[in-house]
């Protein structure tokens, strides 16, 4: 092929190169001892902070006796930072039916010594399930997150100043009503039957 495409000089050069090739079997352990590059490969324990969300400890949470119950929660994994609404609770009308406590997907309700249910705002994601399942009208009201500045306990507020808490509760209810009337739903859950109304407005059947 070389002779057909090139001259005899190229053919002679190719034959000479072929004859000079030597095959040397390389055994395991032979070769260049120098390490061309290396990587730092930390074990899973070193990478745990970035990759692993530790579960809650087993058997924790009980305050014991009549002290109520506070479930064990993860210290670092929080969902409240994405919340757009939060439940506001009327402890005066709560019947202690346990439905909010049972149905909450984030286990954010603490059982108080009186058997009431206080939503832990560090755990609440604002889904509105508690308001939906509560059988008592306006016992739980979802209010827009812009009305709050912290995640403090509503039950502690109620125990410390019941009259002040009830006045604050009415303000939050009024804010919730105004928001629903003026703005409508921008994101998240607002009221029982909300999704059915949206289905009717968009022409989407509820079973689809």
pLDDT tens-digit series, residues 64-113: 557 788 887 877 778 888 888 999 999 999 999 999 999 999 889 999 98
Is 152 within a domain?
yes
Q: Where does the pLDDT of residue 193 fall: very low under 50, low under 70, confident under 90, or very high at 90 and above?
A: confident
Three-state DSSP at 62 gives strand
Q: Per-residue pLDDT for 139 more than 80?
A: yes
Q: What is the pLDDT of residue 180?
A: 58
For residue 103, is it within any domain?
A: yes
169 inside domain:
yes
Residue 157 within any structural domain of the chain:
yes
Structural domain includes residue 193 = yes
Tally of CB atoms within 10 A around 176: 20
**pLDDT given at position 43:** 74
Helix (H) or strand (E) holding 141: strand 140-144
Cα–Cα distances in angstroms (integers) from residue 179 to residues 131, 154, 165, 167, in the given order: 17, 21, 21, 19
Instruction: Using the predicted structure, report yes or no on whether residue 207 has a pLDDT greater than 60.
Output: no
| Domains held by the chain: number | 1
Range of the domain at 153: 82-198
Least confident stretch, 19-23, 87-91, 134-138: 19-23
Q: Can you give the C-alpha Rg of the chain in angstroms?
A: 34
Q: Kindly tell me if the per-residue pLDDT of 179 is higher than 80.
A: no
- Asked whether residue 43 is assigned to any structural domain, the reply reads no
Q: For residue 49, is pLDDT > 80? A: no
Arithmetic mean of pLDDT, 34-55 = 76
Answer yes or no: is 102 within a domain. Answer: yes
Distance CA 150, CA 72 (A): 21
What pLDDT score was predicted for residue 88? 96
Question: Does 64 fall in a domain?
Answer: no
- Report the CATH number at residue 123: 3.30.70.20
Confidence check: pLDDT of 115 > 60: yes
User: Looking at residue 196, what is its pLDDT?
Assistant: 80
**pTM beyond cutoff 0.85:** no
pLDDT value at position 2? 64
């Amino acid at each position: 092929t070389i002779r057909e495409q090139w001259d005899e000089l190229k053919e002679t050069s190719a034959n000479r190169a072929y004859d000079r090739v030597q095959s040397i079997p390389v055994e395991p352990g032979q070769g260049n001892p120098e390490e061309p590059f290396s990587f730092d490969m930390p074990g899973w324990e070193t990478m745990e902070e970035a990759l692993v969300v530790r579960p809650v400890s087993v058997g924790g949470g009980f305050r014991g006796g009549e002290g109520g119950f506070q479930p064990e929660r993860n210290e670092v994994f929080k969902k409240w930072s994405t919340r757009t609404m939060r439940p506001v609770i009327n402890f005066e009308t709560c019947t202690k039916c346990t439905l909010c406590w049972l149905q909450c997907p984030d286990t954010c309700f603490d059982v108080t010594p009186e058997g009431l249910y206080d939503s832990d705002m560090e755990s609440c994601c604002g889904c509105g399930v508690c308001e939906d399942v509560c059988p008592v009208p306006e016992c739980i009201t979802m209010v827009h997150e812009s009305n709050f500045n912290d995640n403090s306990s509503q039950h502690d507020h109620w125990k410390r100043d019941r009259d002040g808490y009830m006045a604050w509760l009415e303000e939050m209810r009024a804010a919730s009503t105004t928001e629903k009337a003026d703005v409508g739903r921008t994101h998240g859950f607002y009221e029982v039957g909300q999704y059915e109304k949206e289905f009717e407005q968009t022409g989407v059947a509820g079973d689809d």
